[in-house]
């Protein structure tokens, strides 16, 4: 069992390394920045999550789920539908590499 876990962790690390955060930054500027901010720290509404500093795997899963309909949000589904698997990995690498800034006042 521990060997399987080790192989899984190595595969996850390889996938994270295959993603290109700089390409993700460019893609996010075109698709994500209007609502989430260029670095993922500025949601334009209280119900939009801060993406900066989120886990890479979580972001990949969330975007993939929006794309294939497992998560239901018409706006996100439309944006995610345009993204390839590599785009999703790159965007996730970009946002996961960002630091969350000061606490956001969402009153």
pLDDT digits (tens, 9 = 90+) for 3-48: 665 556 556 555 555 899 999 999 999 989 999 999 999 887 888 8
* In a domain? residue 17: yes
- Does residue 20 sit within a domain? yes
In a domain, 39, yes or no: yes
> Mean of the per-residue pLDDT values for the chain?
86
CA distance 22 to 85: 16
Residue-range definition of the domain harbouring residue 67: 2-97
- 64 in any annotated domain: yes
What pLDDT score does 25 carry? 97
Q: How many domains does the chain have?
A: 1
pTM of the model: 0.77
Check whether 98 has a pLDDT greater than 60. Answer: yes
pLDDT above 50 for 107: no
Q: Is residue 57 part of a domain?
A: yes
């Amino acid at each position: 069992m521990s060997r399987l876990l080790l192989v899984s962790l190595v595969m996850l690390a390889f996938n994270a390394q295959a993603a290109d955060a700089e390409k993700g930054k460019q893609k996010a500027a075109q698709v994500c920045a209007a609502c989430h901010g260029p670095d993922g720290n500025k949601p334009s509404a209280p119900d939009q999550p801060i993406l900066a500093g989120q886990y890479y795997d979580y972001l990949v899963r969330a975007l993939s789920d929006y794309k294939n309909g497992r998560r239901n949000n018409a706006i996100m589904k439309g944006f995610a539908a345009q993204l390839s698997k590599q785009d999703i990995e790159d965007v996730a690498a970009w946002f996961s590499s960002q630091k969350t800034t000061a606490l956001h006042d969402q009153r």
